[in-house]
Amino acid sequence: QLIKWGMRPERVHVALSFSNTATPNNSNNTIPIDESSIVQRVLANLADSSYPKRPRPSCTTANSNTTAKRHKASHDYLSRTSFVPTPIYMSEAIIQLMAEFPFLSKTGVKKLLKEASEHYAIAHEIICHAVMGRETNGTTTTKSSSIEETERKEEQDYHRLMDALTGKALTPQQIARLCRPLGSHTRTTLARPRSTCTDPFVTDPILVDEIGFVKKKNGEWYEVVQLRLERKEARERSERTGTTLECQCCYGDVAFEEMVACRDEGHLFCVTCVRRYAEERIFGLGSLPSAELTCPHGDGCTSAFSNHTLETALPPKVMAKYNEMQFRSSIEKAHIDEMCQCPKCEFQCILPETQMILNCPECGVDSCRKCGDEPHIPLKCSEVEKKTETNGRKVVEEAMTAAKVRICPKCKKGFFKSDGCNKITCACGTFICYVCRQPIPPKVGYAHFCQTAHCQHQSCHKCPLYSNAEEDDKRAMREAGMKAVAQVQSNNVASTRSSSSSSTSAPIQVRVDVDALLQVPSPRRAVPFGMARRH
């Protein structure tokens, strides 16, 4: 109808596409609700050009973990400050926790939810960790524990949690851990668990999404442990019946359900050896011998494992990293130089060589195609200070400033000296030595300083009354600056190794010239108008 009236088709397309960029909360306020006339709605959009738009996300919040992004919820439910719970949310969270944990009393659920800042996911994690015997901040497994020890503890945690959820009586240790954050006077558990019931009806949208987040997070762990227990049971059954097979890597006797075979030759390996071999190739060496994971048999087999076979042996995170390395290897072999990747959602596309900014159609982030940071035209990537460099420079500058500024031990005010003697009188009346930065008692006074002329202060062990404040400050600032640069660089190297063990790129060097920061430019004298400056 609008085209018949003479409106150009592209204008109609723009008018109809306004709803794609409008925010969901304000889209109803922008257009008058009139279901009888679509034309009036379109004309209202054309007349109002100030409709609200979604804020464009920043690439500084990019996350390199593809598995975590794939399951990202609307809020950070493991943070106590991600959202403010409403009264409806809190009441429904209590009912949900009582249905999931029938061994807890209503008073105990309320107290535990209050301990978790009224957040359902945090309270759920506290209860599960208390039942399983873990600490609130994580598991009791240390980094030095072996894989077998870690798996054994996970299986014990799984059995403890399943026993509690299926109605078995809690142990005194579990009851003590549940009562620990609340005090021994609070009755947290029930002597007889409630009968199981169906899932309660939840109306709060945040709680609905949070329950799904918790179920997905725990479900992944349940599946891994259950699969491990099933394989262990199958191995025991095979050992009793004498139907075990020998692994071609560790030469152990395992069940057929635990075996993985290469594609062509059919060499059999247990899932434990295949998982360790894949983790070493992916995270240890950071590369694959070919586009696929090849057979590790000792006779020089060049066959590979199919993706369907590896999915039964590798954890989801390892499999996701393997698929990512396969894709990158294929891109490198195809010599597609125009391939670009979004740092936020890892969406990949082909861009012309002349286009330097990637406008991601998935998440809407604008980023530089070379360095992945925010667009910095007309500057080059090498001319833009990285976030790590900015933080390191700030740390060095703050350390140098702290070395120059003296702090009064009484009123905590900062000051520095331009000239005069080294006995400083603060506004609060405190006497301070500018050299050793210690308070001077009123009875001591000038006796704190050396009274001998031309003394080198090596034998008297006293502070000089007069000294060059500028030289002393520069010396202290330079020492503090060089120490801060070394500390920042060591922290940067440690964080780079811990964040990505498979990364081969060198850590970013903190480029801070301490001597240049010490060179204070002399103030320029203003020249009156009409007078030439003499050289």
The answer as to whether 535 is a domain residue is no
The answer as to whether 184 is a domain residue is yes
| 226 shares a domain with 272 | no
| 410 shares a domain with 274 | no
The answer as to whether 357 is a domain residue is no
Distance CA 395, CA 522 (A): 25
The answer as to whether 477 is a domain residue is yes
DSSP string over 41-110: HHHHHHH-----BPPPPPGGG----HHHHHT--SS-TTSTTS-PPPHHHHHHHHHHHHHH-TTB-HHHHH
Question: Distance between terminal CA atoms of the chain?
Answer: 77
| 473 shares a domain with 436 | yes
Tell me, what CATH number does 308's domain have? 3.30.40.10
| 416 shares a domain with 454 | yes
Look up the pTM and report it: 0.48
CA dihedral 344, 349, 353, 358 (to 10 degrees): -30
How many other C-beta atoms can be found within 10 angstroms of the C-beta atom of residue 38?
A: 12
3-state SS of 155-213 is HHHHHHHHHHHCCCCCCHHHHHHHHCCCCCCCCCECCCCCCCCCCCCCCCHHHHHHHHH
How many other C-beta atoms can be found within 10 angstroms of the C-beta atom of residue 203?
A: 9
CB-CB contact of 18 with 49 (8 Å):
no
The answer as to whether 168 is a domain residue is yes
Backbone angles phi, psi at 329, to 5 degrees: -65, -40
| 416 shares a domain with 309 | no
| 90 shares a domain with 196 | yes
How many other C-beta atoms can be found within 10 angstroms of the C-beta atom of residue 355?
A: 11
Closest CA to 301 of 325, 266, 276, 251: 266
The answer as to whether 355 is a domain residue is no
Q: Which H/E stretch holds residue 290?
A: none
For residue 32, the 8-state DSSP code is -
For residue 348, the 8-state DSSP code is E
Q: Cα–Cα distances in Å, from 287 out to 53, 281, 341, 496, 526? A: 43, 6, 19, 18, 63
The answer as to whether 373 is a domain residue is no
CB-CB contact of 492 with 460 (8 Å):
no
438 lies in which domain range? 389-488
Tell me how far the alpha carbon of residue 23 is from its chain's centroid.
27
| 133 shares a domain with 226 | yes
Distance CA 76, CA 54 (A): 20
| 283 shares a domain with 218 | no
Burial category of 400 from C-beta neighbours within 10 Å (exposed 0-12, middle 13-18, buried 19 and up): buried
pLDDT, tens digit only, all 535 positions of the chain? 544 455 555 555 555 554 444 454 444 444 444 445 677 776 776 666 565 555 555 555 544 443 334 445 567 888 888 888 888 998 998 988 888 888 888 888 888 888 888 888 888 888 888 888 765 544 444 444 566 777 778 888 888 888 777 777 777 777 777 776 555 545 777 777 777 667 788 888 888 888 888 888 888 888 888 888 888 888 888 888 888 888 888 888 888 888 888 888 888 888 888 888 888 888 877 667 677 788 888 777 888 888 888 888 888 888 888 888 887 777 777 777 777 888 877 778 888 888 888 888 877 788 888 887 888 888 887 777 666 777 777 888 888 888 878 888 888 888 888 788 888 888 888 898 888 888 888 888 888 888 777 776 667 778 888 887 777 778 888 888 888 888 777 776 666 555 544 444 445 565 666 767 666 554 444 434 344 333 3
Last residue of a domain, one of 466, 488, 510: 488
Distance CA 319, CA 310 (A): 8
| 398 shares a domain with 313 | no
Distance CA 419, CA 438 (A): 19
| 263 shares a domain with 215 | no
| 188 shares a domain with 152 | yes
| 219 shares a domain with 111 | yes
Last residue of a domain, one of 488, 509, 528: 488
Which tokens in the block code for residue 451?
Answer: 């009274």
Closest CA to 259 of 247, 242, 251: 247
DSSP string over 488-506: HHHHHHHHHHHH-TT--SP
* Largest separation between any pair of C-alpha atoms in the chain: 107
Domains in the chain, number: 4
CB-CB contact of 422 with 464 (8 Å):
yes
Backbone angles phi, psi at 259, to 5 degrees: -95, 145
The answer as to whether 43 is a domain residue is yes
CB-CB contact of 289 with 505 (8 Å):
no
Specify the amino acid at residue 116.
A
